[in-house]
Amino acid sequence: MRKSTFLSAAMLLLPVFNSVSGQELKLNDLDYFETQGVNVLAYSNIFSGGFNDEKNAGIELIHHGVRTAQGGAIRLSNTPEQWDLVPAVSNRKVDKAANSIEVSLRYKDFDFDSRVVVTAKGKAVEIAVYLDKPVPKSLEGKAGFNLEFLPSQYWAKTYLMDGRFNRFPRYAVSNTTTKPNSEKIKQYKGYVTADDRGTGKFVDPLPLETGHTLLLAPDEPGRLVKITSSDADLMLFDGRMLAQNGWYVVRSLLPAGKTGKVLSWIVEPNAIKGWIREPNIGLSQVGYIPAQPKVSVIELDKNDKPLAKASLYKIDEKGTASEVFSGNVVSWGNYYKYHYVKFDFSSVKTPGIYYIQYGNTKTNNFLIDNSVYNWITDATSDVWIPIHMDHMYVKEGYRVWHGEPFKDGYLQAPPNTDHFDLHSQGPTTDTKYKALELIPGLNVGGFFDAGDFDIETGSNISVVENFVQTWEYFKPMRDETFVDEQHRYVDLHRPDGTPDVLQFIEHGTLNLVAQAEKIGHMAQTLSNSVLDNYHHLGDAASLTDNLPYNPNLGPYEIAKDGRSSGVKDDMWAFTSRNPQLDLQAATMFAAASRALKGYNDDLSVRALEQSKRLQKEATELLAKQPNNTTRRGGFGSADVATNLQLYIATGEKQYIDKFQELLWPALDRGVTFGLLTALDAIPHMDAAYKEKLLPYVVKYNEYIKGLEKQNPYGVPIGLGNWAGNGALLSFGTTVCFANKYFPDIVDSSNIYKVSNWLFGCHPYHNYSFVATVGATRPKAVFYGNNRADFSAIPGNVAPGVLFRNPDHFENYDDWPFLWGENEGTIAGNTSYLIFGSVFKNLAK
């Protein structure tokens, strides 16, 4: 009966599959398999090892323009989590003649080697696993081949396993079992990956289905994939049963005691015949002021034929759309995977509601009006930033964003501790505190780093600097947040008579001054001691039990006096001294001391005192280190800013002399890095200084012009494992100030390229990268602390389009869990605040 059902289903689907299928897969010049509409990558991107499984490596499928599958590798669990072990790639060999790619994988911890060979077989690829030695005994029944599929592209679609129909669940609702902890593979350095509450067992998902032929999304040709295996069971799991960022996993266990070719899959992604990606018409979702340049960058499939013209339509008061402008479409050329053309409609200046029509594709509406940029920073300053105020109870209307977190404070991290967020405690504490001793007074002020709840000291330093710069340049009097430091209470949309930015400066400085005073220098981070707490989602106040750990109590026991518990959930301070970080703090403290003077004089005095002390000590420590100019940020470049801020704060000549001594060599080493600091000094220097700076601005302008030839958007585009909006914002702020002081050299048109990118004129899609800004089409999902709700915190700024080797840009607009493209950070969002402030000022 089962065989009959399968054959009937297969025969029904066969004509559909054949009618839409495309050409055979071939290895292209970029060493991945390609046919029109389908790319199969075999370790073009490898597991980094930093956070292990980042959901962007291994064998990957880019299916009709979207990366829908990844993680194809030998894995040690059914549904691997982020910090679970990943194999190292020891060798990758491309054989064009055989139309195959072979990758050698190794688990050093288990002395376990394997080879995965991906070979094009017509419209499919064969994925074969080879072993020279059998699976180690400890991994029998655990090592298998996995391939993971993006849930947001598959939920509510159907699947067939051996002809049995079912539907991918929108929410994780499959079955699980529990197993003894002794059966769990030791994962990332032994960190706890799930709180078993003392049961001694871990949770393991059970498969949704098992069989030999799996069809994914036969009801959606653009996502249809067929996987068959004659020599192994295919198991389908829902990885979200353990973690909200899990994917659907197809898995086959490796057989025990065998060598040679031990596993084979045939994976056939459906290619719609003649498929061409719809044009991505880039535009500013916020809109345009009448006087600015207005250029739409249109991203085209390489098989698409560019049209000669595009049109602009205006919507009148009756809702009628009429064409008001038609202009030539000019080819820019190819950039990585796609072809780019430009549509310039700068001549249209009449205020109104418009949309762009290119062929059969039209955009959503946008505005042309002098007011469009007036509110671009309000959601960030009114909502996102106060929600990320640590050690405070934060309320918005009927909603409590979080209670007061970390009442239990921070313990000294033990020596020789390696942290899962890439921090470490060295062989000593570098403090007067013993391991796991409470460091008093650190649970005050500061800002959550991003989608997690730690205080990254370097980021918080940048945050305060951004606030101070915003305050000193623009004196924003906006007051929409009630802040009560004494009672640790924040209420959104409730004015309290004090400018919000000034209160944010105070809040950030409180924590950083406490670090300097209590520790003696700056901590690397104030973070979680347990991995299960680190990936906590929900109310920050529930991350710990707010009681210090007492080793004399049993697990989860609370002391009779209610002041301690047996829960190992405390936050730790990682205190290994980094004089470079101290120097950055000295810069920030000097700036903060000025802003706080007359508002919180005590904190102002303390900040200046710590600035001078840390600057002196850090300079002495760095001078003793070899090659200090090559360290992160460059010793000389960092000290440039420190001496400038100390001079502005104190007026003492020694600081301005040192600033000038260090500045010019720093600019000679790299004008793109140090120019913004040099521009910040102009209001405090004489005319000769500005004249001496002029050739460096000319050089920077040459760099700006070069970007127009480098990519079609004319802005710096990041190609790392964190998308590039942070560097873009720094670039935009530098261009703004360069135009302010040298308008005859740096043209204002360059500034609008940055705003256009942020608000929708970029690769992959045309959403605004700022949550709720660009009200017609802002990104709706972000990697924030509410990411499990597929939501966003208003004002959040995404890192941007993430580059995947060798030629793919992406920014998931329906899946928030990739932090490299969707996680807004406190440093990035306050960089947006300063850019937005200076941009609005110049746009007027």
Active site residues: 814, 823
What are the Cα distances from residue 20, in Å, to 163, 221, 226, 808? 21, 7, 14, 24
> Tokens at residue 722, please?
């964190």
Give the Cα separation of 774 and 755 in Å (integer).
Answer: 11
End-to-end Cα, the chain, rounded Å:
74
The DSSP bridge pattern shows strands 124-131 and 112-121 to be: antiparallel
Tally the C-alpha atoms within 13 A of residue 395's C-alpha that lie toward its C-beta: 11
DSSP letter for 469, please. H
Give the Cα separation of 681 and 364 in Å (integer).
Answer: 43
Give the Cα separation of 473 and 466 in Å (integer).
Answer: 11
Computed on alpha carbons and rounded to an integer, the radius of gyration of the chain in Å comes to 28
* SS3 assignment, position 741: helix
The DSSP bridge pattern shows strands 410-412 and 571-574 to be: parallel
Nearest one of 741, 614, 616, 624 to 676, comparing CA atoms = 741
446 contacts 391 by C-beta, under 8 angstroms: yes
> Would residue 636 be called left, alpha or beta, if left means φ above 0 and alpha means ψ between -120 and 50 degrees?
alpha
What are the Cα distances from residue 766, in Å, to 55, 63, 68, 641? 23, 19, 20, 37
394 contacts 387 by C-beta, under 8 angstroms: yes
User: How many angstroms from the chain centroid is the CA of residue 465?
Assistant: 22
Instruction: Name the amino acid, one letter, at 536.
Output: H
DSSP 283-348: --SS-B-TTS--EEEEEE-TTSPPPSEEEEEEE-TTS-EEEEEEEEEEEEEEETTEEEEEEE-TT-
